[in-house]
Amino acid sequence: MTTILVTGGTGTLGRHVAERLRTDGHEVRVLSRHSVPYAVDLRQGGSPLDASVTGADTVVHCATSPRGGDEKAARNLIAAARRAGVSHLVYISIVGVDRVPFGYYRSKLAVERMAEDSGIGWTVLRATQFHDLLLTFFDGLARLPVLPLPARVKDQPVEVTEVARRLADLARGGPAGRVDDLGGPEVRTFDSLARAYLKAAGRRRAVVKVPLRGAAYRAFRDGGHLAPERAVGVTTFDEFLAQRFPRR
C-alpha cells in the first residue's frame, strides 16, 4: 500500500482524486489549508508542510489559485518533498499553458518547469477546462440581464471525475514525464455552451458576443487552449448539465 499526499485534496479535482486512490486501497493524506490533520498553507510552508510530506511516497499536486501564489507554493512543496525523499511528483496543468500568454497559464507553466527541474521523478498531465468551471462562469454571468461572451472563442470542457481517474492512474505508476493531454469530447463555441446552460438552468438571457483585444484573447480565439486531437473525454457538457439540473 502506497502513501499518497494529495494537495488541494478538498477541491473540485483533488477530492475526487483522493476518493479514487482510497478506493484503490492506498493510504491517502489530504492537504489543504483547513484539512485536519494536514492543514497547511503551501505558500507559507514550514514544519506543518514537512510533517505532511514525511513518509509519503507520491505527491499529487492539485492545489492552485488563479489569484496567484502557485509558484511560491510549488517551490515550498518541492523543497519539502526533496527533504522527505518523495519518489514521485504528479502535477495537473492546463492545455495551452505554453501557447496562451495569460497570467494564470504562465504560472502553471512555471510550476511545470519546477517539477521537471526538481530532481524528483515527475509526471505532468495537462487537461482542458472542467465542466464545473464553465458552470461557475455562466452562473456568475447569469446575474446580469445579458450574457456577455468573448466572440469567436471555443472551448473543450471535460468531466472532472475523468481527469481524477487519469491522475489516480498516473499516481499509482512510476514517473512518466509529460503525458498525453486529456481533452473533453467536444469542441464547441462559447455561445453554444452558454445557450445549453441557459436551457438546462431554465433561465432566459440574451447572449451577446463581445470582441476583445490583446494577445491572450487572440490565443484563446485561435484555439491555443484546445486539444481536439486528444478528445478522449466521454461525458459531454449537455450530459453534465442534465445531472446538475435534473428535470422535475
CB contact set of 170 (below 8 Å; sequence gap of 6+): 90, 123, 125, 176, 179
DSSP bridge partners of 154 = 189
Report the alpha-carbon distance of residue 192 to residue 134 in Å, rounded.
12
Report the alpha-carbon distance of residue 221 to residue 217 in Å, rounded.
6
Report the alpha-carbon distance of residue 23 to residue 25 in Å, rounded.
5
- Residue 54: the pLDDT is 97
- 102 band by pLDDT with thresholds 50, 70 and 90: very high
Does residue 248 carry a pLDDT above 60? no
Does residue 72 carry a pLDDT above 60? yes
DSSP bridge partners of 4 = 28, 58
pLDDT in tens, 177-233: 999 999 999 999 999 999 999 999 999 999 999 999 999 999 999 999 999 999 999
The answer to whether the CB of 94 falls within 8 A of the CB of 105 is: yes
Q: What mean pLDDT is predicted for residues 227-244?
A: 97
Q: Quote the mean pLDDT of the chain.
A: 96
CB contact set of 159 (below 8 Å; sequence gap of 6+): 130, 131, 184, 233, 234, 235, 240
Does residue 48 carry a pLDDT above 60? yes
The model's pTM: 0.96
The answer to whether the CB of 29 falls within 8 A of the CB of 3 is: yes
- Residue 241: the pLDDT is 98
- Residue 247: the pLDDT is 79
Report the alpha-carbon distance of residue 208 to residue 201 in Å, rounded.
18
Q: What mean pLDDT is predicted for residues 38-53?
A: 96
- Residue 1: the pLDDT is 75
- 100 band by pLDDT with thresholds 50, 70 and 90: very high
Does residue 19 carry a pLDDT above 70? yes
Compute the C-alpha angle 133/139/145, nearest 5°: 140
